[in-house]
Amino acid sequence: STEGEYRVVVENANSHSQFLIYFSCARYTYGKPVPGLATVSLCRKLFHVPNCDKHEVCEEFSQQLNSNGCVTQQVHTKMLQIKNMGFEMKLRVEARIREEGTDLVVTANGISEITNIASKLTFVKVDSHFRQGIPFFGQVLLVDGKGVPIPNKLIFISASEANYFSNATTNEQGLAQFSINTTHILANKLFVQVYTVHPNLCFHYSWVTEDHQGAQHTANHVFSLSGSYIHLEPVAGTLPCGHTQSIRAHYILNIQAVGELSELSFHYLIMAKGGIVRSGTHTLPVESGDMKGSFALSFPVESDIAPIARMFIFAILPDGEVIGDSEKFEIENCLANKVDLSFSPAQSPPASHAHLRVGAAPQSLCALRAVDQSMLLMKPEAELSASSVYNLLTVKDLTNFPDNVDHQEEEQGHCPHPFFIRNGAFYVPLSSNDEADIYSFLKGMGLKVFTNSKIRKPKSCSVIPPMSAGVIGQGYYGVGLGVAGRPYPPQMSAYNIMPLNNEQSSGPVPETVRSYFPETWIWELVAVDSSGVAEVGVTVPDTITEWKAGAFCLSEDAGLGISSTASLRAFQPFFVELTMPYSVIRGEVFTLKATVLNYLPKCIRVSVQLKASPAFLASQNTKGEESYCICGNERQTLSWTVTPKTLGNVNFSVSAEAMQSLELCGNEVAEVPEIKRKDTVIKTLLVEAEGIEQEKTFNSMTCASGADVSEQLSLKLPSNVVKESARASFSVLGDILGSAMQNIQNLLQMPYGCGEQNMVLFAPNIYVLNYLNETQQLTQEIKAKAIGYLISGYQRQLNYKHQDGSYSTFGEKYGRNQGNTWLTAFVLKTFAQARSYIFIDEAHITQSLTWLSQMQKDNGCFRSSGSLLNNAIKGGVEDEVTLSTYVTIALLEIPLPVTHSIVRNALFCLESAWNVAKEGTHGSHVYTKALLAYAFSLVGNQDRSREILNSLDKEAVKEDNLVHWERPQKPKAPVGHFYQPQAPSAEVEMTSYVLLAYLTAQPAPTSGDLTSATNIVKWIMKQQNSQGGFSSTQDTVVALHALSRYGAATFTRTEKTARVTIQDSRTFSTNFQVDNSNLLLLQQISLPELPGEYVITVTGERCVYLQTSMKYNILPEKEDSPFALKVQTVPQTCDGHKAHTSFQISLTINYTGNRPASNMVIVDVKMVSGFIPLKPTVKMLERSSSVSRTEVSNNHVLIYVEQVTNQTLSFSFMVLQDIPVRDLKPAIVKVYDYYETGE
């Protein structure tokens, strides 16, 4: 059935309510309700109590979903012991929806907080400071435990420092406001409390008590020598973009402080994103006498002041005193480029035409994307939005000085005179650290100021006056009240003690619905014209669903813009849906279900047919009626028991047709829809063979020079081959890179989940483009395809970049905080080479080069950081030497000149390395020598390169005009292989480096070099797999680089042709012709007989590249292996209540080979047919320090393990039954070394 959206809502339970309301809904992605049965459990976990068997209390019920796809249930709170504090203050809710007809079960989860809050007050708008003479304003919001405003409720406000005790009644929005006269406040703090009832000091340890939460706010006094102030009135909420905001400024001006001025200028500025973005001035005419009043400031709210704006206003009085205030404003996360996206029409049937309209700033370039809604439900938090863009800002708001700036602040100066007399009253400067001044406002905004004005309050001093405290005025220096009062600020009484924060834990965990539907519809770039509009014609896909489209646009003038989501519902009122597994193994049996849905207002009569096929046997389970009556908003499900008969992709085609009929449907005549009378759905099932797939390739480079050249091809199968699983193909190409070009994004049948493996998708494109350019074979079609791969590979690789410019296998986000020297050099040179074809940000090049330079030691060698990935290149002195040689090669391939300081110093390291390597025993430093030979060839030091190549030639393995090199202590080939396995990755890699050394000889390779190179190429090509790659990543990258260089060096354009014939001993015979017109064309045919004997004949006068690929399955047998693997299910039998539909897969591995440890290991767990992994349990494996990454790919779970030693590692995760399958066959679990695939 169509994937759906499933939603669980439980109203937050109040601890003093008798009932709570449970609410759950299930809808398809096309908006219609799901029919079926909901089984709901509400559980409350017990806090950990030793020796207690009971862990939770639960309430469960089942109920049919109503016509809206929802279920509502009232649950008595006593059943869940809501008032008992021994349990968690939350309910865990699970809803299992069983879809009617298909019996598919989908589970949704939710969490509901249990709150004892009956009411809660919060300040939504309040002054941060108070100033004597300017009223202190506040606004509060009263809500209940669910966050719903409470209207018409009396609240109490108290501020004892102002002798203020009042009350107010909330309005319809739950808001109440107050204003406090500050004229006679003598304290330096104002403590404001609001409450609905007096705090209850009684506390019951075992039972939850009702809580009415009040709110408190503390405001500090602002110092002013003259008693003059300016105050910005706060604004509640978030300011929306696109309008002008007015801010009211209140002032009090002492006429003596203003002096002879006729007008006073108030200057203001607005800060955002760490900088001053706006400024202005307001001029106030000076009147006679003390002045008190207000004026308005206004500013446009736009993206330049988002997300947080701080306004600072100030005036400088004639005596140098500065008065001012600051205020913070929350701004909507808006963007300057306003992007609008809409579909026309908003609902359309599948396969129909629609239009997607984009509105943006003129000349914008917009990226459009439309995906199935179910994809967004999988991870909604990952969606691009204005908020996610603003979250990328390094500075959103400045709130203080950095420590190094704060420490540079000058001293405040000396203490003032300990006391003085004004207007007959004594004044003593008391300690007033909490009092704010202009300096504190500036510092709070991160602003440094250079001024000779008075922006600081006097230094706080501790003095004892020489006279009675009873006649000393309040100690605010310069306030000038002249009134006797208390010498120190009043202490809070017990009644006014600020209560502890009693906030509940964070709100309900955001719901995550897990469904899988990988359809992506639109993914393209569109340019907006000068009118600011672009319209794209689209064809609606066949899926019945809701498509969600989004766009982001870039403009040189307006910058970035992001649209809100646009929806198109692909829907027709009558259609059929199929329910079937993703794949099965031959011999398994499953039930194919077809559900016909009628959303027409009338009844229809429908016939349903499954198209017969020799690929499967099907018998209908339900009574085989000719037609079925389906009324409005109803459905009919039919099912067949299916046994697949052939391997590969098997198509199932089901048609539902509305028929003309005289039979009544209920009490009415069935109607026939005017359009879409017949709906046919074709779905593909993958049928796999039993056992483990094996692949063997036979490659050769054959050159004919007038005379016929014949080869025997003998294809044999092992005795344990799975019946009918064998298949073979024969391919002919006219170009050395032809096979790789055909499969440039699929060179390996391996996962690509880390930063090094991703580069095998990137680097070969550069070699192919360079080669085709040099040989003048590059077409626009190939160029566009390769550049597209380069762009996507470039963006993917940036996921593995660290902030310091280095790269690592899994990037910083997986906690691998150490950059990898080897990988950083690889990425650096490849990005530098890609600049010829795509845009590469120079910052990435510069940062990586800087990081590598910091890794260089005094002797010119490079320090190793991070693992070498493939430990075949490790071994004593070679660790640092091989790495340093590799990095030097990467720098030379950028290319950096030999005179560059990093390269020049590195060459000292390489010279030392060669002096050590040449003294080693025979074959002891083959890998290092291969790298050194290539490095010195790149430098142009032919004498040194030739010396190393001569040494390597003595260590070469030569057989039948094939030349290659092997490692010392080469691992033995696994026993029992029917064919000789592919050469290990390290041997292909080192042999390819020797080939590159021959081909880089300067000024050009000699004929002898090319002859040696040809024998090496013949061996390398024999190791190629059927996709054109090799056994792993690095050997594939280096070998394709070497082959492209060889192809360019030996390419000659000729009019001559070659003819290839393959035939068996019977009647099969096929001819191929290779000429200039089809050099890059892959010519391929399936071979009819396996096992079989074939003869291949090449005639003509040119070289051709031949490949035979044979694949077959074998049943696993007990054999010696370098890994120990144990797999079991928990529970081990299916006797439990849920064991046949849900169980845990548990496995242990350890390394038993000859090396101390493996390289990176892949654990590949194939799912039993009809089962799917529970993704959260798979993701949890990444918490283990040994697991670098996990992936769920189709019906496989992949676990990346950094390395495996003889210490046992354990992993486990849950699987759930998605579709029932009978006669289940075993599923295969494989563990293999990524770089030694023979292990």
Tens of pLDDT, residue by residue over 29-82, are: 888 899 999 998 888 888 765 555 567 888 888 999 998 888 888 887 777 777
- At 872 the pLDDT is 54
Within a domain: residue 1160?
yes
Report d(CA 1224, CA 1203) in Å as an integer. 33
Within a domain: residue 974?
no
Shared domain for 99 and 121, answered yes or no, is no
Two structure tokens written together for 977: 């292989």
Q: In the chain, pLDDT over 90 holds for what percent of residues?
A: 50
Q: Is the Cβ–Cβ distance between 1008 and 894 less than 8 Å? A: no
Picking from 232-246, 546-560, 648-662, which range would have the lowest pLDDT averaged per residue? 648-662
811 pLDDT band, cuts 50/70/90, is confident
Residue 852 has pLDDT above 90, yes or no: yes
Within a domain: residue 646?
yes
- At 624 the pLDDT is 65
Within a domain: residue 1172?
yes
Report d(CA 1132, CA 818) in Å as an integer. 41
Name the domain count of the chain: 4
Shared domain for 59 and 137, answered yes or no, is no
The segment with the largest mean pLDDT, out of 17-31, 79-93, 220-234, is 220-234
Number of H helices, E strands in the chain: 19, 66
- At 482 the pLDDT is 30
- Angle of helix 985-999 relative to helix 1033-1050, nearest 10 degrees, comes to 30
In sequence order, the β-bridge partners of residue 595 are 577, 637
Shared domain for 66 and 138, answered yes or no, is no
Residue of 493, 492, 490, 500 lying closest to 201 (CA atoms): 500
Q: Is the Cβ–Cβ distance between 22 and 10 less than 8 Å? A: yes
Separation in Å, CA 1150 to CA 720, 1125, 1157, 1203, 1233: 27, 7, 9, 10, 12
- At 246 the pLDDT is 95
Q: In the chain, pLDDT over 70 holds for what percent of residues?
A: 86
Residue 815 has pLDDT above 80, yes or no: no
- At 1074 the pLDDT is 93
Domain C-terminal end among 221, 237, 257:
221
Shared domain for 683 and 587, answered yes or no, is yes
Mean of pLDDT values over 1080-1106: 93
Shared domain for 122 and 217, answered yes or no, is yes
- Element containing residue 374 per DSSP (H, E): helix 373-378
Report d(CA 69, CA 10) in Å as an integer. 16
Within a domain: residue 632?
yes
The enclosing domain of 619 has a CATH number of 2.60.40.10
713 pLDDT band, cuts 50/70/90, is very high
Within a domain: residue 532?
no
Shared domain for 1129 and 1197, answered yes or no, is yes
Residue that the structure tokens 């000719």 belong to: 626
Mean of pLDDT values over 995-1007: 92
Residue that the structure tokens 């064809």 belong to: 539
Shared domain for 598 and 672, answered yes or no, is yes
Residue 115 has pLDDT above 90, yes or no: no
Residue 265: phi, psi to the nearest 5? -95, 125
Residue that the structure tokens 């019920």 belong to: 61
Report d(CA 146, CA 148) in Å as an integer. 6
Residue 714 has pLDDT above 70, yes or no: yes
- At 377 the pLDDT is 67
- At 114 the pLDDT is 79
503 pLDDT band, cuts 50/70/90, is very low
The enclosing domain of 37 has a CATH number of 2.60.40.1940
In sequence order, the β-bridge partners of residue 569 are 347, 546
Mean of pLDDT values over 846-850: 96
Report d(CA 449, CA 446) in Å as an integer. 10
Residue 860 has pLDDT above 80, yes or no: yes
**In 3-state terms, what secondary structure has residue 74?**
strand
CB count in 10 Å sphere of residue 275? 10
Residue of 102, 5, 96, 107 lying closest to 1220 (CA atoms): 102
Two structure tokens written together for 465: 């006056």
Shared domain for 151 and 188, answered yes or no, is yes
Q: Where are the beta strands (DSSP E) in 170-239?
A: 175-180, 189-195, 211-213, 215-221, 229-232, 238-239
Two structure tokens written together for 735: 């170009």
Report d(CA 806, CA 815) in Å as an integer. 14
- At 201 the pLDDT is 58
Residue 492 has pLDDT above 50, yes or no: no
Shared domain for 77 and 137, answered yes or no, is no
Mean of pLDDT values over 748-756: 75
Tens of pLDDT, residue by residue over 369-427, are: 999 887 776 666 677 888 889 888 888 888 877 766 655 555 555 555 555 554 454 44
- At 623 the pLDDT is 73
Report d(CA 1085, CA 1095) in Å as an integer. 15
In sequence order, the β-bridge partners of residue 635 are 597
- At 491 the pLDDT is 33
Cα atoms in the Cβ-side hemisphere of radius 13 Å centred on 77:
20
CB count in 10 Å sphere of residue 92? 18
Q: Where are the alpha helices (DSSP H) in 724-805?
A: 738-742, 755-758, 763-774, 780-797
**In 3-state terms, what secondary structure has residue 985?**
helix
- At 347 the pLDDT is 92
Shared domain for 86 and 19, answered yes or no, is yes
981 pLDDT band, cuts 50/70/90, is confident
Q: Is the Cβ–Cβ distance between 679 and 711 less than 8 Å? A: no
- At 1048 the pLDDT is 92
Report d(CA 668, CA 600) in Å as an integer. 14
Shared domain for 592 and 626, answered yes or no, is yes
Within a domain: residue 40?
yes
Chain-centre distance for alpha carbon 509 = 19
User: In which domain, by residue range, is 217 found?
Assistant: 117-221
Shared domain for 76 and 108, answered yes or no, is yes
Within a domain: residue 491?
no
Tens of pLDDT, residue by residue over 870-879, are: 555 443 335 7
The enclosing domain of 1200 has a CATH number of 2.60.40.690
Domain C-terminal end among 688, 714, 734:
688
Domain C-terminal end among 96, 115, 134:
115
